[in-house]
Amino acid sequence: MKRRLLALMLIGILVFAVVGCSQSETPDEPEEPTEVDESEGADETPEEEPLKIAMVTDEGGVHDQSFNQSAWEGLEKAEKDLGVKVDYVESQQDADFAPNFETLLDADNDLIWGIGFKLSDAVMDAAVANPDQLYAIVDHSYGDDTPDNVVGVMFKAEQPSFLVGYIAGKMTETNKVGFVGGIAGDIIWGFDYGFQAGVQYAAKELGKEIEVLNQYAESFSDVAKGKAIATQMYQQGADIVFHAAGDVGGGVIEAAKEQDKWAIGVDRDQNYLAPDHVLTSAMKRVDVGVYNVVKALQEGNFPAGETITYGLADGGAVDIAPTSDMHVPEDILNEVEELKQLIIDEEIDVPFNEETYEEYMDNL
């Protein structure tokens, strides 16, 4: 935006100079402006530069096959469709967040994204220190304390998690399934308790008990730990394991391949990672949220100081993966469509943490 101001100032100086040069030295015989003069003035008017948008990843990196990668795909689409310039910097550890934001600020970006709730403090600090710079964050809301130069993007991740939980409950042959989380907290709890709620909804329909094994890796990047946790769950009898763990989930899917079991992906349609072993995926379309905010900025409608939240009612921002029909029977997919509408109509209130899950189970 500082570039925009500078460009306007230069245009003003240029126009003044052109007008001044076109004045005749003989006041009583003014010169007629010619087409050549106008053409030359137009040629000298600089074109407006495209918006520059960049993002800071968490330690999972831009190729985590999950939410960082989805965010980057949203920026790539914005570059293709809207003509903006895009870039990213990857964080190797939490200590990288603040200097990475400084790097992108120094690069004169118009909008800087923080991808993931772990960057919430760094985004807030940067926004307060630089009130003329625009920021956005995925998976965090500052509520009433949201600065005027920040927008938050949130997703009702519990909703697609409920749907894949229902699929797992309907398709388990051992009556035991698993959940592997990344770092415990509000965001991943939504996946966790939404999944458990869907499993138990299916169990009640089937009139049986289904056990849900549950463990957190406390990381979004430790692929080996994800594989170890999932392998243990499969060896304990689980035949389907859902992960919400960023790059850790790559290890879960690798374990499913080795154990010849099912995994359920997250954020993106992860079937391509193991077409014969990824049953479905709970999609949280970070790319949609990122793209929509960039488009709003370009159109002059940046939702400053707000939090945008996407759910099933918002046209595909969250859902199950389109490849689900590869392995999930048609009758179950039809039931999933009915459940979607019940959730949209608020006839099913999907839990997103321990408290709401306990309430849900009391009323199930």
- The CATH number that applies at residue 177 is 3.40.50.2300
> Do 118 and 193 lie in a common domain?
no
Over range 344-348, report the average pLDDT: 97
> Do 209 and 120 lie in a common domain?
no
Report the pLDDT value the prediction gives residue 106, as an integer from 0 to 100: 97
> Do 260 and 193 lie in a common domain?
yes
DSSP string covering 313-343: GGSSSEEE-GGGGGTS-HHHHHHHHHHHHHH
Contact criterion met (CB below 8 Å) for 251 and 226: yes
> Do 166 and 151 lie in a common domain?
no
> Do 269 and 295 lie in a common domain?
no
Record the pTM. 0.84
Q: Is the pLDDT of residue 113 over 50?
A: yes
Over range 40-46, report the average pLDDT: 50
> Do 277 and 170 lie in a common domain?
yes
Write out the residue range of the structural domain in which residue 269 sits.
Answer: 158-283+329-363
Residue 102 tokens read as 């400084």
The answer as to whether 12 is a domain residue is no
Query: What is the number of domains present in the chain?
Result: 2
The answer as to whether 83 is a domain residue is yes
Report the pLDDT value the prediction gives residue 65, as an integer from 0 to 100: 87
Average pLDDT in the chain? 90
> Do 264 and 334 lie in a common domain?
yes
> Do 64 and 116 lie in a common domain?
yes
Could you give the CA distance from residue 133 to residue 150 in angstroms, rounded to a whole number? 9
The answer as to whether 65 is a domain residue is yes
Over range 315-344, report the average pLDDT: 96
Q: Is the pLDDT of residue 120 over 90?
A: yes
Task: Give 315's pLDDT tier (boundaries 50, 70, 90).
Answer: confident
Q: Of 4-13, 63-72, 146-155, which one has max mean pLDDT?
A: 146-155
Pairwise pLDDT comparison (316 vs 88), residue with the higher score = 88
> Do 248 and 180 lie in a common domain?
yes
| Residue 174 CB neighbour total at 10 angstroms | 14
Say which residue the tokens 């795909």 belong to. 73
Say which residue the tokens 């905010």 belong to. 293
> Do 57 and 133 lie in a common domain?
yes
Residue 217 tokens read as 């890796």
B/e letters for 18-44, b = 16+ CB within 10 Å, e = fewer, are eeeeeeeeeeeeeeeeeeeeeeebeee
Contact criterion met (CB below 8 Å) for 167 and 360: no
> Do 81 and 173 lie in a common domain?
no
